[in-house]
């Protein structure tokens, strides 16, 4: 899988990104260009080296180029550390579309988005106002930031989070800075054992994963509503893939997003599966999801040359 750096700017921040290309004749100048391009958007606390690169390893052998990038403030990208705002990530994904649309090895008429977790809601929101995106996949994503976050909590931790957000609004307006907290005070993993175990055993291997997040980010998350944008996807096919037993982002998120979406759409429920315990390159469920994504994207693009 040949790869090359492809940084780009979003709102003036330089974002770190890698372009992964199909292995044509063993180099990055294969005869399959211009390639259809998939922009892979991470989820909460995500980094390009985790699931975006995993999607690249799975999709480049099928003839796609894949852009993996770190959002502002994460990895080697510029931006305020601790600020995790989905509404700003939407602009980062749009800037990624800008970048790939003018690259000579990439086909600007075949641009796809894949969003994982929170990134699923991000790509739906971005594509709703960007006709350059021809097809998109939302994998274990969210339809409503308020509801999905509340359902991660018990009553005590939810009320505590709301009080802390309210107090932080005063702090921000008087001191100019938001309080940094553990990311798991906002997205509560410990109520989902399978996801909690996977995160602890796998995701913490990535440098920088698990860094603190400010409470302003939580305030924005509760006001993030991708379902309101899904109805605008009249000309862009939407694939929704979701674990049936996902205890982090409940399966209701997938059904809500599907019901809200207009135009061509497909809902794939992964029977018996949770949020992320099956996200390994060789896991049969991950391989099945990639097959479904490839078939859906191929239907939107036409045949993809490997």
| Mean pLDDT confidence for 271-294 | 97
Domain for residue 203, yes or no?
no
Domain for residue 247, yes or no?
yes
Gyration radius of the chain over CA positions: 18
The model's pLDDT over 97-145, given as tens digits with 9 standing for 90+, comes to 999 999 999 999 999 999 999 999 999 999 999 999 999 999 999 999 9
Give the pLDDT score at 192: 87
CATH number of the domain enclosing 101:
3.40.50.1820
Per-residue pLDDT for 245 more than 90? Answer: yes
Per-residue pLDDT for 279 more than 80? Answer: yes
Give the pLDDT score at 223: 98
b/e map 249-284, b = 16+ CB within 10 Å = bbbebbebbbebbeebbbbbbbeebbbbbbbeeeee
The burial class, CB within 10 Å (0-12 / 13-18 / 19+), for 149 is: buried
Distances (CA, A) of 151 to 19, 142, 228: 36, 12, 19
What is the pTM for the complete model shown?
A: 0.95
Domain for residue 46, yes or no?
yes
Domain for residue 96, yes or no?
yes
Give the pLDDT score at 24: 65
Peptide bond into 34 cis (omega under 30): yes
The model's pLDDT over 61-80, given as tens digits with 9 standing for 90+, comes to 999 999 999 999 999 999 99
Domain for residue 306, yes or no?
no
Per-residue pLDDT for 94 more than 60? Answer: yes
Q: Put the strands of the sheet holding 265-270 in their side by side order.
A: 3-5, 17-20, 65-69, 35-41, 106-116, 133-139, 238-243, 265-270
Domain residues for the domain of 79 are: 3-145+225-301
The model's pLDDT over 3-60, given as tens digits with 9 standing for 90+, comes to 999 999 999 999 999 999 998 644 445 567 899 999 999 999 889 999 999 999 999 9
Scanning 67-180, the segments in alpha helix (DSSP H) are 86-101, 118-128, 145-150, 155-175
Q: Which residue has the higher pLDDT, 286 or 1?
A: 286
Domain for residue 157, yes or no?
no
Mean pLDDT score of the chain, rounded to an integer?
A: 94
Under the banding of pLDDT at 50, 70 and 90, the label for residue 159 is very high
Under the banding of pLDDT at 50, 70 and 90, the label for residue 305 is very low
Domain for residue 48, yes or no?
yes
The count of structural domains within the chain is 1
Under the banding of pLDDT at 50, 70 and 90, the label for residue 303 is low
Domain for residue 215, yes or no?
no
């Amino acid at each position: 899988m040949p790869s090359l750096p492809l940084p780009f700017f979003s709102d003036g921040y330089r974002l770190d990104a890698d372009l992964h290309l199909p292995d044509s004749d063993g180099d990055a100048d294969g005869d399959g260009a211009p390639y259809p391009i998939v922009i892979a958007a991470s989820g909460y606390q995500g980094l390009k080296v985790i699931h975006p690169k995993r999607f690249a390893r799975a999709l480049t052998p099928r003839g796609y180029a894949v852009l993996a990038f770190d959002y502002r403030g994460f990895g080697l990208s510029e931006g305020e550390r601790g600020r995790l705002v989905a509404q700003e990530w939407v602009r980062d994904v749009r800037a990624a579309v800008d970048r790939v649309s003018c690259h000579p090895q990439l086909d600007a008429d075949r641009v796809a988005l894949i969003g994982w977790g929170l990134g699923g809601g991000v790509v739906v929101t971005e594509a709703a106002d960007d006709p350059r995106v021809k097809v998109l996949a939302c994998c274990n994503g969210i339809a409503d930031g308020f509801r999905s976050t509340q359902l991660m909590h018990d009553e005590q931790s939810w009320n505590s989070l709301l009080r802390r957000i309210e107090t932080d609004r005063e702090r921000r307006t008087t001191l100019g800075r938001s309080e940094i907290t553990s990311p798991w005070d906002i997205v509560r993993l410990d109520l989902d054992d399978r996801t909690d175990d996977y995160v602890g055993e796998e995701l913490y291997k990535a440098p920088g994963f698990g860094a603190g997040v400010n409470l302003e980010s939580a305030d924005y998350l509760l006001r993030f509503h991708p379902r309101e944008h899904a109805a605008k996807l009249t000309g862009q096919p939407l694939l929704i893939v979701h674990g049936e037993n996902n205890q982090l982002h409940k399966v209701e998120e997938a059904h809500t997003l599907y019901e809200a979406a207009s135009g061509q759409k497909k809902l794939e429920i992964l029977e018996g599966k949770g949020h992320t315990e099956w996200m390994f390159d060789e896991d049969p469920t991950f391989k099945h999801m990639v097959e479904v994504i490839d078939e859906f994207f191929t239907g939107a693009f036409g045949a993809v040359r490997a």
